Amino acid sequence: MKLLPYIAKRLLYSIFVLLGLSILIFTLSRVIPGDPARLALGPMAPQWAVDQLREKLHLNDPLPIQYIIWLTNALRGDLGESIVSKRPVIEDVITFFPASFELVIFSTIISIALSVLIGAMAGRRANSLFDNLVRVFSYIGISVPTFVWAILFLFFFGYIWKMLPTLGQLSTEFTRPPFITGMMSIDALIVGDLGAFIDHFKHMILPSVTMSISRIAQDAKILRAGMIENLKKDYITSATSFGVPESRITFKYLMKPSIIPMVSIMGMEISGSMGGSFIIETIFNWPGFGRYGMWAMLNKDLNAIIASVMIVGAFFALINIVVDIIIAYLDPRIRMVERSA
Amino acid sequence: MNETRFRFLNEERKRELVKNWRKFSSNPLSIVGLISVLIVLFLAIFAPWVAPYPQSWGRWVDFNNVLKPPSWTNWMGTDNFGRDIMSRIFFGFRYDLMMAAAILVMVVPLGTILGLIAGYFSGTFIDTIIMRVTDVFLAIPSLVLALAICSLLEPSLFNSMMAVSVLWWPWYSRLSYGIAISLKNEYFVQASELIGASTPHILFREILPNCLSPIFTKMTLDVGWVILIGASLAFVGLGAQEPIPALGNMVSAGTKYMPDYWWMTIFPAIAIAFTILGFNLLGDGIRDLLAVEEV
């Protein structure tokens, strides 16, 4: 099977899954007790206003019709209006999503760099002191919830040692760079505001490290296991006997096959980080998509809730396709075989 | 005669047990996990008797002892209502474990049966329907879906349990689906088909026993995950509500008092981490013991 038709097939399948997801979340949002129009207007609004809004939102139509109306609007880019921000949801998403994406990308870079380093060193020296420390760390890293890490970091780095800024994206003494890509570090670089870039970078450290801890733990564990497994292979023995330097064996011959299982869960992890951003951004007051989604959820902002679920779902699907392409590039054996689901 | 045979079987079983225990205990991490889980279980079950201030679990106010730091009388300090944090943590174990148990009891049979049916009838429309629905639930990080469902319902412990159950079963159907597909062409399944065994018999007596070890392993590991997601829900205010001392909302109640009254947050947070870590270590030990490849 060639790669291109495979990707096309995956895309098509993702669209069906996303349709299913939209049906699920849309139905849930309509069958819950409580009138969406009443929720939107608040308890003090007069009944005629509620009735008017019900008519406008097609809430008197049967559920399938409502869904089809919602879907046709959504496909045109109209996700309805948010109750809390009083703006079209799609505008909110465009404003807030890049900031989260920036955070997720940055934490992905951190976690790949650190987990490859830690995992490779531990795998190369199995059962050494360092290896055991890494194993304990990975258990703790996986087990401790992200919000606990967030609070611990806030406490130690923000309050006790006062090393890093804890809340928001930028200190008050800097002016916000104009909204070009929405990712503030890139925007600051485009305008050439180096001070704002550095300050923003410092703000990014705590939330993104929080986001990456469980991923580092997981990835390092998987990479370590793969390394130990592949170390027994004949080609490593022969490379060693030819006198190939150890660092070259580790990073060239051992790394490539061992890293594949780690890459294959990366799609899951990146979108997991996007999910984790709902809590992390709320704690660090990071004005991103996660904080927006959480805000919508706490205020029962139905349109925004549906939109945030759908956008995380679409992000998940896209990332997984990208990861599949990367794996096909890394591992020629998989390239031809269709991976299930 | 009968008695000797019985004794022989007993011996055999005992030897098996000892062997398994040796294998399990060869990894010190598994032992740590087992001990932590036992501690948590003990404290949860006997919370009213071992907690130094059992009245602290619910609506209780003691304004003389508000926000006291850890001391000999209150080992982990007191919260903003003067309630003893340690006692509340013990009761918190109760709620978190109860939540995990209730969710798994609902989710495991449902998911497993659906997966078995889909796997056994693979290639038919039953398979398509069940597994495509499964894919929908797995198309999004579970935390986001749990948050969304909880936010649509009224926030409460019960509703957060419902929300997690709704999205957790697909993992079990995917697991048993894979096993059922790989087994349905084995000789023992084909043989029972030939002699005319009923479909329920094949599903539950022939295929299901082969799924039990991976399912059991996954359940142990999942206790930790379910507690984690439940704590996250409670933390953001979409799960258990005051005055219920679930560990997640104890942490979130403490964050408002954070740098100065750190004990309100740090101790429940450590308790959550301890519980999840214990179940993860135990689950990994069981996975090695039962030689389950992947869960």
Look at residue A51 and tell me whether its pLDDT is greater than 80.
Answer: yes
Give me chain A's average pLDDT, please: 87
CB contact under 8 A, B277 and A139: yes
The alpha carbon of residue B24 is apart from the nearest alpha carbon of chain A, in Å, by 18
B129 touches chain A (CB under 8 A): no
A89-340 folds as MetI-like fold (1.10.3720)
Range A120-147 burial, b when 16+ CB lie within 10 A, else e:
bbbbbeeeeeebeebbebbbbbbbbbbb
pLDDT at B5: 58
Low-confidence ranges of chain B (pLDDT < 50): 1
pLDDT of A44 > 70? The answer is: yes
Q: How far apart are CA A86 and CA A223, in angstroms?
A: 47
Task: Report the residue of chain A nearest B147, measured CA to CA.
Answer: A297
Which residue segment(s) compose the domain that B220 sits in? 2-294
Residues in chain A within 8 Å Cβ distance of B277: 139-140, 143-144
pLDDT of residue B103: 95
Burial status of residue A43 (CB atoms within 10 A of its CB: 0-12, 13-18, 19 or more): exposed
Total tally of structural domains belonging to chain B: 1
Question: A145, B152: Cβ pair inside 8 Å?
Answer: no
Distance from CA of B115 to the nearest CA of A (A): 15
CA dihedral A155, A156, A162, A167 (to 10 degrees): -40
CA distance to partner chain A, nearest, from residue B284 (Å): 10
Task: Chain B: give the shortest CA distance to residue A236, in Å.
Answer: 25
What's the token pair of residue A241? 């006997």
Stretch A105-127: mean pLDDT, rounded?
90
Select the residue of A135, A159, A300 nearest B259 (Cβ to Cβ): A159
Nearest of A191, A42, A298 to residue B150 by alpha carbon: A298
- Tokens representing B17? 């047990």
Does B281 contact chain A (CB < 8 Å)?
yes
Determine whether the interchain pair A341/B135 forms a contact, defined as Cβ–Cβ distance below 8 Å: yes
The reply to whether residue A25 touches residue B148, judged by beta carbons under 8 angstroms, is yes
Q: Hey, are the CB atoms on B144 and A279 less than 8 Å from each other?
A: no
**Is some CB atom of chain A closer than 8 A to the CB atom of B262?**
yes
Residue A146: strand, helix, or coil: helix
Retrieve residue B267's tokens. 């101790």
Q: What is the pLDDT of residues A127-177, one digit of tens each?
A: 889 998 998 899 999 888 999 999 888 888 888 888 888 888 888 888 888
**In this structure, what CATH number is given to the domain that contains residue B59?**
1.10.3720.10
**Mean pLDDT on A190-194:** 85
Q: What is each CA distance from B25 to A318, A338, B40, B80, B224, in whole angstroms?
A: 44, 41, 20, 43, 21
Q: Does B152 touch chain A (CB under 8 A)?
A: yes
| Mutation choice for B interface testing from A13, A19, A24, A218 by most B CBs within 10 A | A24
- Residues A23, A56 contacting (CB under 8 angstroms): no
Chain A residues close to B150, C-beta within 8 Å: 297
Residue-range domain boundaries for chain A: 36-78, 89-340
Do B276 and A308 count as a contact with CB atoms less than 8 A apart?
no
Quote the pTM value: 0.88
Q: Is the model's pLDDT at A341 over the cut of 50?
A: no
B256: contact with A, CB 8 A cutoff: no
Q: Please, which residues 187-226 of chain B have a Cβ atom closer than 8 Å to chain A?
A: 224
Tell me: the pLDDT tens digits for A75-110? Answer: 998 888 888 788 999 999 999 999 999 999 999 999
DSSP collapsed to 3 states, chain B: CHHHHHHHHHHHHHHHHHHHHHHHHCCHHHHHHHHHHHHHHHHHHCHHHHCCCHHHHCCCCCHHHCCCCCCCCCCCCECCCCCEHHHHHHHHHHHHHHHHHHHHHHHHHHHHHHHHHHHHCCCCHHHHHHHHHHHHHCCCCHHHHHHHHHHHCCCCHHHHHHHHHHHHHHHHHHHHHHHHHHHCCCHHHHHHHHCCCCHHHHHHHHHHHHHHHHHHHHHHHHHHHHHHHHHHHHHHCCCCCCCCCCHHHHHHHHHCCCCCCCHHHHHHHHHHHHHHHHHHHHHHHHHHHHCCCCC
CB contact under 8 A, B133 and A20: yes
Q: Given B131, B258, B273, which is nearest A148 (Cβ)?
A: B273
Q: Which residues of B touch A312 (CB under 8 A)?
A: 140-141, 144
Interchain proximity B140–A275, CB inside 8 Å: yes
Report the pLDDT value the prediction gives residue A339, as an integer from 0 to 100: 46
- Please give the residue of chain B at the shortest CA–CA distance from A275: B144
Contact state of B141 with A282 under an 8 Å Cβ cutoff:
no
CB-CB contact of A307 with A89 (8 Å): yes
Peptide linkage before A64 cis (omega within 30 of 0): no
Contact A17 B145 (CB under 8 A): no
Q: How close is the nearest chain B Cα to the Cα of A243, in Å?
A: 35
Question: Is A148–B272 a contact, with Cβ atoms under 8 angstroms apart?
Answer: yes
Q: What is the pLDDT of residue A335?
A: 55
- Asked if B251 lies within 8 A of A151 by C-beta distance, the reply is yes
Contact predicate B51/B42, CB 8 Å: no
To the nearest whole angstrom, how far is the Cα of B12 from the nearest Cα of chain A? 34
CA–CA min distance A334, chain B (Å): 19
Residue B129 CA from chain centroid, whole number: 28
Give the number of beta-carbon pairs within 8 Å between A and B.
Answer: 135
**Which tens digits make up the pLDDT trace of A292-326?**
999 999 888 888 999 999 999 999 999 988 988 88
Q: Show residues of chain B in contact with A276, CB under 8 Å.
A: 141, 143
The closest CB to that of A143, out of B143, B258, B280, belongs to B280
- Taking CB atoms and an 8 Å limit, are B277 and A145 in contact across chains? no
State the pLDDT confidence band at A334, using cuts at 50, 70 and 90.
Answer: low
Instruction: List the single best residue of B140, B173, B175, B226 to mutate versus A (max A Cβ within 10 A).
Output: B140
Q: Which residue of chain B is at minimal alpha-carbon distance from A277? A: B144
Cβ B266–A293 below 8 Å, yes or no? no
